[in-house]
Amino acid sequence: MQTLFRILIIGIMLGGIYGLVAMGLNLIFGVVRVVNFAQGELVMLGMYGAYLLHSKWGWNVYLTSVLVVPALFVLGLVIQRLVIQPLREQPAMQLLATFGLLILFQNLVLAVTRGETYTVREPAASRTFDVFGAQIDVGRIVIFIATTLVALCLWWVLQSTSFGRSVRAVTENRPAARLMGINVERTFLVVFGLGAALAGLAGVLLAPVYSLTPNVGQNFIFAAFAVVVVGGLGSVTGAYIGGFIIGLVQSLSGYYLDPRLGTAFYFLVFLVVLIIRPAGLFGRLGSEKLGA
């Protein structure tokens, strides 16, 4: 029983990581209807931003979020305005554009770092606690708490603020939202910026936990896509709960079956949900269609 508890705790901590990365991806898709293949690279840029401030100026790694998150927000605005918006009538080209950004960001960082691996040494994040026999470091606990707080904040913003009502209106029916006086393009701009900012926050929180390489974003983006599909397209709640589902599937299958097949098993869950309920467990039916 203790072994099972240990595996479940590890899976939940892993799910917190996936959920945090997936929330920004899901927010962008749910509103802008763009599958952002470069979301993992935005996480990677956040990680390098935290590393730069931490190693060069001695900032506490978590404090770097006060600069990294706004910087990624601005980058998201630039991407939406200069790359995504001009292609708004061509969804397929938008997908290719985000894939092009993935290659661009990855190769720019590769050129600057020459592929060297970096690590962020934050003593506070490295401390461990025993939870049902599992040694969990503070860094992962912080991610779990941050994921929960971000999910609650996003839910509150979308449900209780004028901006949230605008977002929900645009998500439900773009033409009707325009007739109601909502600036749809501005909503898209802010939402893409928020999605990029969430990627930056994820990067800051992940920096003390993972080594930094130009392709580190790939470690999270495939799982994030699985979370988005399983939890529900465009659903913040789905991204939060879906992260834990995928984390638990990977943890349980890795221990009881084969750790090398962890990714294969959560993509099996991905395929099953995609076939049975394309909108995901918490998604709105019809939201799986681009441009809906």
What is the per-residue pLDDT across 276-291, written as a single tens digit (0 to 9) for each?
887 788 876 555 554 4
Summarize the confidence of residues 26-47 as an average pLDDT.
90
What is the reported pLDDT for 236? 84
Going by C-alpha positions, the residue among 284, 169, 271 that lies closest to residue 233 is 284
Query: According to the per-residue pLDDT averaged within each range, which of 135-144, 177-186, 188-197, 282-291 is highest?
Result: 188-197
Tokens of 181: 């006086």
Give the type of residue at 288: E
Q: What percent of the chain has pLDDT over 90?
A: 40
pTM for the whole thing?
Answer: 0.90
What is the reported pLDDT for 265? 82
Instruction: Give the integer Cα–Cα distance in Å for 85 and 150.
Output: 27
Summarize the confidence of residues 58-73 as an average pLDDT.
94
**What is the chain's mean pLDDT, rounded?**
87
What is the reported pLDDT for 292? 43
What is the reported pLDDT for 291? 43
| Residue 7 pLDDT class (50, 70, 90 cuts) | confident
> Residue 149 pLDDT > 90, yes or no?
yes
The CATH code for residues 2-276 is 1.10.3470
> Residue 263 pLDDT > 80, yes or no?
no
Using the 8-state DSSP alphabet, how is residue 83 labeled? Answer: I
DSSP letters spanning 215-271: TTTHHHHHHHHHHHHHH-TT-HHHHHHHHHHHHHHHHHHHHHT-GGGHHHHHHHHHH
What is the reported pLDDT for 254? 80
What is the residue extent of each domain of the chain? 2-276
Going from the C-alpha of 204 to that of each of 1, 41, 125, 153, 193, the distances in angstroms are 35, 13, 12, 18, 17
What is the reported pLDDT for 132? 65
Summarize the confidence of residues 133-159 as an average pLDDT.
88
Going by C-alpha positions, the residue among 232, 175, 214 that lies closest to residue 27 is 232
Who wins on pLDDT, 5 or 176? Answer: 176
Instruction: Give the integer Cα–Cα distance in Å for 230 and 282.
Output: 8
